[in-house]
Amino acid sequence: MNQLITWRGAVCVLGLFAAASMASAGDIAATFSAPMFDRWMYPYNSANPQGSETEASVFSVIGSETEWAFDNRDGQMIIGYATGGAIPAGQPVANYRIRSARLIARASRDNAFVYDGTPDSFRTLLPMSDPDFLADEDAGQPIELFMCGYRGGWALTGPTAFGESTPFHNGAPFPFPARGIRNAFAAEFDAGGLLIDNSNNRDQRREVRPLAIGNADLPQGALVPRDTDFVFEIDLTNPQAIRYLRESLAAGQLNVVISSLAITEQQSANVPAFYCKEMPAAVGGVPARLELSVCVGHPADWDCSGVVEVQDIFAYLASWFAGDGDFDASGVTEVPDLFAFLTAWFGA
């Protein structure tokens, strides 16, 4: 029997009664105008104390004589938001339905780098003599937003939570070679569901999937003026992104990493850089802003009214037929989502 016909029959039956259950829910639009912390993750960051820098640059030293001693993604910017005050923490991860999520960061240097709003393969940064080299079709390298991973015993929350004053790495002063030692890094989930370090993906010959690529109101290849906003619209068709956001909101803390393989020379000022919260507003400083729209509550409360009821079925069907009913967070809206929703509805 056709599964969709079976589903429609079930909806007709359900319409004959109005069983409902309460769920602590809310349709929440939250704006975090400044992060709890922002940190320039660069081995030679001399800010005292750590985390007091007024801007953070993101770049690569690929092609330099000393690139062997540094991560491909040498300068990274870690930004952390305490979300629990606006979005209730501690609920099952499925209770967080992400409607939209974006971060806006403002460039702090004038005409220091070229805008590229498109993804680039790691192959474009291989030597031209490499058989896997791929010519880049546009100038520059994109600015990317990633999940945040940890090593050295550091974590998202708890007594070992990574923060503004956490050292770049554990142990003695900066050693050589210095690859793969940073305590927090640009990350994504691997096939086994573990956060892996993307800091050296060029040399690992591995493509990455960022949460978002920064877009600006500029033509491709243009120099980026100071105070240009980069908007990172998180890709909600990415199941990894949904998982990361849900787990972070359940924990009450969301940390993200701005990173780029933008090529520069060591100690050059011509690199992408963004304001930290320590930059005074009087001189134009604007910290990175996070905007979230989340329905919090039982996952079957599709209209986010706070009650699971028959109306949610019709609301869900409208979303499903519009292609916006990815209930199981697989990245696509398909027939199994209908049955997953129905199972959750009956279990409410």
Q: Are residues 89 and 210 in the same domain?
A: yes
CB 58 within 8 A of CB 75: yes
Residue 198's pLDDT is what? Answer: 98
Q: Is 75 helix (H, G, I), strand (E, B) or coil?
A: strand
pLDDT at 264: 75
Given a contact cutoff of 8 angstroms between Cβ atoms, the answer to whether 30 and 291 are in contact is yes
255, 277, 296: which is the final residue of a domain? 296
Residue 23 pLDDT: 38
Q: In the prediction, which pLDDT does 263 show? A: 85
Residues 155 and 8 in one domain: no
pLDDT in tens, 254-298: 999 999 999 876 556 789 999 999 999 999 999 999 999 999 999
Do 158 and 204 have their domain in common?
yes
Looking at the predicted structure, is the pLDDT value of residue 26 above 90? Answer: no
What per-residue confidence (pLDDT) applies to 15?
A: 39
Per-residue pLDDT reduced to its tens digit, 156-165: 999 999 999 9
Question: Is the domain of 238 the same as that of 343?
Answer: no
3-class DSSP assignment, residue 10: helix
Query: Mean pLDDT across the stretch 173-180?
Result: 75
Tell whether 200 and 92 lie within a shared domain.
yes
Examine the domain organization and report whether 291 and 318 are in the same domain.
no
Same-domain pairing of 172 and 317: no
pLDDT per residue over 134-157, tens digit each?
999 999 999 999 999 999 999 999
User: Are the beta carbons of 298 and 308 closer than 8 angstroms?
Assistant: yes
Could you give the CA distance from residue 207 to residue 210 in angstroms, rounded to a whole number?
Answer: 10
Task: Please report the pLDDT score of residue 174 as a whole number.
Answer: 67
DSSP code of residue 66: T
209 and 329 housed in the same domain: no
What mean pLDDT comes out for the span 109-119? 96
Look-up of token digits 């090593």: 151
Model confidence at 178, in pLDDT bands (50, 70, 90)?
A: confident
Tell me: do 14 and 43 sit in the same domain.
no
Give the mean pLDDT of the chain: 90
pLDDT at 9 over 70: no
Domain ranges, residue 60: 27-296
Give the lowest-confidence range in 2-6, 222-226, 231-235, 282-286: 2-6
Q: What percent of the chain has pLDDT over 70?
A: 90
**pTM of this structure:** 0.91
Mean local confidence (pLDDT), 193-221: 97
Instruction: Answer with the one of 258, 279, 296 that is the final residue of a domain.
Output: 296
Split into its structural domains, the chain has a count of 2
4 pLDDT higher than 80: no
Q: Please state, in angstroms and as integers, the Cα–Cα distance from residue 273 to each residue in 39, 64, 112, 140, following that order.
A: 12, 20, 8, 14
Please tell me whether residues 58 and 96 are part of one structural domain: yes
250, 96 contact by CB (below 8 A) = yes
Same domain, 271 and 139: yes
pLDDT of residue 268: 65
Does 21 score more than 60 pLDDT? Answer: no
* Residue that finishes a domain, picked among 280, 296, 312: 296
The verdict on 215 and 272 lying in the same domain is yes
Q: Note the pLDDT tens digit of each residue in 40-96.
A: 999 888 888 888 999 999 999 898 888 888 999 999 999 999 999 999 999 999 999
Q: Which of 82-86, 176-180, 298-302, 303-307 comes out lowest in average pLDDT?
A: 176-180
